[in-house]
């Protein structure tokens, strides 16, 4: 008989194989998770909303189907970020405005996951409306980094990352505008992928053509990440930007053995300060490709307009999605959200025109760059995990930032290029904190990105570092 501890430490790919072979059931996994959450989550606050009754009802319906009809996840449990609606489950968005809100219908991304055999058992913690890369809010409080619970878990998919790192999840859903899948992956020693636009269908909100934020997968290793991306991918008529599922699957692609011929490493993309220890760790990881016969050169595309462009488009997005909340519930919004909405409302059409033109130029340069390089590698975050009491990173390596999100430039610049990007665990600091390497590929080249990440993961001695028990 398999112990709960053996289940918790298993990979998602292994568990799916066992589910389809009939060796275990989704109920075994839910039971193991419920016990693990009971013993661990009080120390880190990653999964503040649980829905195990709903999960077991769904698992029961799934078990009534033939194995071949249970989907690629075959009953694997998946937590959903608390920005995203799950029917019948409290969905707060980390805001006092929605602290008691229970949606009647699930977001498309949840519908898709459940149709593909995912079983939703929890909502993961997020900062208010996902704003700011430090997971805390007035509804549930802060999520703590399990490598040192005095430190930030980053965000905004911080609850999801911590659940993975502590064995309270094998797979997790998240979202990413300015690094919200990649930053917490780096801070917590797991893998997070921001996919290409349209790769994961989701319910449009406020505008059909919002293209800064995407939904994406998080996992403990690259193969598990590919498994979840397959289950999340596919077109949906209610999301006009969504793409068909790929053939071959991402899991097949990650096992293809594809190897890049030439990769670029940039310590800073030419636009941001970076902690020297983070630079050194990520550079060493990138240079591991050289032992595989891959050419590694220091280079990056020209992304010099990224700060101005992202600040404008982010403010515009906040204005179109949150202006009504500013008018009706200003006193319940955190100051960073109020500031961002007001920045958006103050924009002129000329500002938006300029930002859109800048983004077009950034995308064109990125595509041209990938005519020379198969992958671009950078630090996934510019700092190591910082004290939980600091709302955001105010400065790095002697450079002070102009806004609460400017420290995220190394990831939000890539957001603007429409390229898929992931954070891969690549080493540890002298104090034992994880560091992530951002790996970037051309638009819609997730297959090559995942294969390259698996190749590097195999050469680094960090896989299997999680799950861990929280440390003080």
* Residue 472, domain member (yes or no): no
* 227 Cβ contact partners less than 8 Å away, ≥ 6 residues apart: 12, 13, 16, 72, 73, 171, 219, 250, 251
Full DSSP string of 56-114: HHHHHHHHTS-GGGS-TTTT-EEEEETTS--TTS---TT-GGGTT---SS--HHHHHHH
* Residue 287, domain member (yes or no): yes
Cα–Cα distance between 77 and 62 in angstroms, integer? 12
Is 156 catalytic? The answer is yes
CA 108 to chain CA centroid, Å, is 18
Cα–Cα distance between 193 and 124 in angstroms, integer? 17
pLDDT at 2 > cutoff 90: no
The CA-atom distances, in angstroms, between 368 and each of 194, 301, 412 are 21, 8, 19
Return the pLDDT at 457: 98
Look up the domain containing 348 and give its range: 4-459
In this structure, are residues 123 and 361 in contact, taking their beta carbons and an 8 Å threshold?
Answer: no
Return the pLDDT at 397: 96
Q: Average pLDDT, whole number, for the chain?
A: 97
Residue 31: how many CB atoms within 10 A of its CB? 15
Rounded to 10°, the helix 12-21/222-232 angle is 60
Q: Mean pLDDT over residues 287-296, rounded?
A: 98
* Residue 467, domain member (yes or no): no
* Residue 17, domain member (yes or no): yes
pLDDT tens profile 42-70: 999 999 999 999 999 999 999 999 999 99
pLDDT at 23 > cutoff 90: yes
* Residue 144, domain member (yes or no): yes
In this structure, are residues 365 and 301 in contact, taking their beta carbons and an 8 Å threshold?
Answer: yes
What token pair was written down for 227?
């498994």
Residue 279 backbone zone (phi > 0: left; psi -120 to 50: alpha; other: beta):
alpha
pLDDT tens profile 112-157: 999 999 999 999 999 999 999 999 999 999 999 999 999 999 999 9
In this structure, are residues 157 and 186 in contact, taking their beta carbons and an 8 Å threshold?
Answer: no
Is 81 catalytic? The answer is yes
What token pair was written down for 390?
């600091």
The CA-atom distances, in angstroms, between 90 and each of 7, 46, 105, 142, 283 are 28, 15, 12, 18, 43
CATH of the domain at 301: 3.90.1300.10
In this structure, are residues 107 and 339 in contact, taking their beta carbons and an 8 Å threshold?
Answer: no
Return the pLDDT at 224: 98
* 164 Cβ contact partners less than 8 Å away, ≥ 6 residues apart: 170, 171, 172, 188, 190, 218, 219, 220, 466, 467
Selected catalytic residue, list 95, 152, 157, 180: 180
In this structure, are residues 12 and 75 in contact, taking their beta carbons and an 8 Å threshold?
Answer: no
Return the pLDDT at 89: 98
Cα–Cα distance between 85 and 104 in angstroms, integer? 9
**Total domain count, the chain:** 1
pTM above 0.95, yes or no: yes
* b/e map 259-279, b = 16+ CB within 10 Å: ebeebbbbbbbebbbbbebbb
* Residue 214, domain member (yes or no): yes
Full DSSP string of 109-144: HHHHHHHTT-EEEEEE--SGGG-SSS---TTT-PPB
* Residue 173, domain member (yes or no): yes
In this structure, are residues 382 and 274 in contact, taking their beta carbons and an 8 Å threshold?
Answer: yes
Residue 308: how many CB atoms within 10 A of its CB? 13
Task: Indicate the length of the chain as a whole number.
Answer: 472
What token pair was written down for 450?
């995942």
pLDDT tens profile 347-400: 999 999 999 999 999 999 999 999 999 999 999 999 999 999 999 999 999 999
Residue 356 backbone zone (phi > 0: left; psi -120 to 50: alpha; other: beta):
alpha
pLDDT tens profile 174-227: 999 999 999 999 999 999 999 999 999 999 998 998 999 999 999 999 999 999
Return the pLDDT at 361: 98
What token pair was written down for 65?
């189907």
pLDDT at 1 > cutoff 70: no
Is 459 catalytic? The answer is no
* Residue 415, domain member (yes or no): yes
pLDDT at 287 > cutoff 80: yes
The CA-atom distances, in angstroms, between 302 and each of 266, 362, 381, 405, 439 are 12, 7, 19, 21, 17
Q: Which of 168, 236, 222, 237 is nearest to 192 (CA)?
A: 222
pLDDT tens profile 212-232: 999 999 999 999 999 999 999
The runs of H, that is alpha helices, within 264-373 are 276-287, 306-329, 335-345, 349-369
Pairing of strands 119-124, 49-50: antiparallel
pLDDT tens profile 413-428: 999 999 999 999 999 9
Selected catalytic residue, list 106, 124, 152, 156: 156
């Amino acid at each position: 008989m398999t112990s709960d501890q053996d289940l918790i430490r298993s990979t998602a790919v292994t568990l799916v194989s066992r589910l389809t072979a009939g060796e275990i059931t989704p109920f075994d996994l839910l039971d193991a998770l419920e016990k693990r959450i009971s013993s661990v989550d009080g120390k880190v606050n990653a999964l503040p909303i649980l829905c195990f009754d709903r999960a077991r009802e769904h698992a029961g319906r799934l078990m009534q189907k033939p194995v071949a009809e249970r989907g690629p996840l075959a009953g694997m449990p998946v937590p959903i970020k608390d920005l995203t609606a799950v029917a019948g489950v409290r969905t707060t968005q980390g805001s006092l405005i929605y602290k008691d809100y229970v949606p009647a219908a699930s977001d498309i991304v949840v519908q898709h996951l459940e149709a593909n055999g995912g079983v939703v058992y929890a909502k993961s913690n997020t900062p208010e409306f996902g704003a700011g890369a430090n997971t805390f809010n007035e509804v549930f409080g802060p999520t703590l980094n399990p490598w040192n619970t005095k430190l930030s878990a980053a965000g905004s998919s911080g609850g999801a990352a911590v659940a993975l790192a502590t064995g309270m999840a094998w797979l997790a859903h998240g979202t990413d505008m300015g690094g919200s899948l990649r930053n917490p992956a780096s801070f917590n020693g797991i893998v997070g992928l921001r996919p290409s636009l349209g790769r994961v269908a989701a319910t449009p909100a406020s505008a059909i053509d919002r293209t800064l934020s995407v939904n994406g997968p998080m996992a403990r290793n690259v193969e598990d990440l590919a498994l979840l991306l397959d289950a999340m991918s596919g077109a949906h008529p209610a999301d006009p930007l969504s793409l068909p599922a790929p053939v071959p699957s991402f899991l097949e692609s990650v096992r293809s053995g594809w190897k890049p011929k030439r990769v670029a490493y940039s310590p800073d993309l030419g636009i941001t300060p970076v902690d020297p220890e983070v630079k050194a760790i990520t550079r060493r990881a990138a240079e591991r490709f050289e032992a595989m016969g891959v050419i590694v050169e220091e280079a990056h595309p020209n992304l010099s307009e990224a700060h101005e462009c992202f600040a404008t488009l982010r403010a515009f997005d906040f204005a179109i999605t949150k202006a009504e909340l500013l008018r009706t519930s200003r006193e319940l919004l955190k100051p960073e959200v109020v500031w961002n909405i007001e920045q958006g409302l103050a924009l002129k059409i000329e500002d938006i025109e300029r930002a859109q033109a800048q983004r077009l130029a950034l995308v064109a340069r990125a595509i041209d760059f990938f005519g020379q390089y198969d992958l671009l590698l950078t630090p996934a975050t510019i700092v190591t995990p910082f004290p939980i009491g600091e709302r955001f990173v105010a400065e790095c390596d002697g450079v002070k930032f102009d806004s609460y999100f400017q420290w995220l430039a190394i990831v939000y610049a890539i957001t603007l290029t429409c390229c898929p990007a992931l954070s891969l665990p690549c080493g540890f600091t002298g104090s034992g904190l994880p560091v992530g390497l951002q790996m970037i590929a051309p638009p819609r080249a997730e297959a090559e990105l995942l294969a390259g990440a698996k190749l590097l993961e195999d050469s680094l001695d960090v896989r299997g570092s999680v799950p861990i028990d929280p440390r003080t």
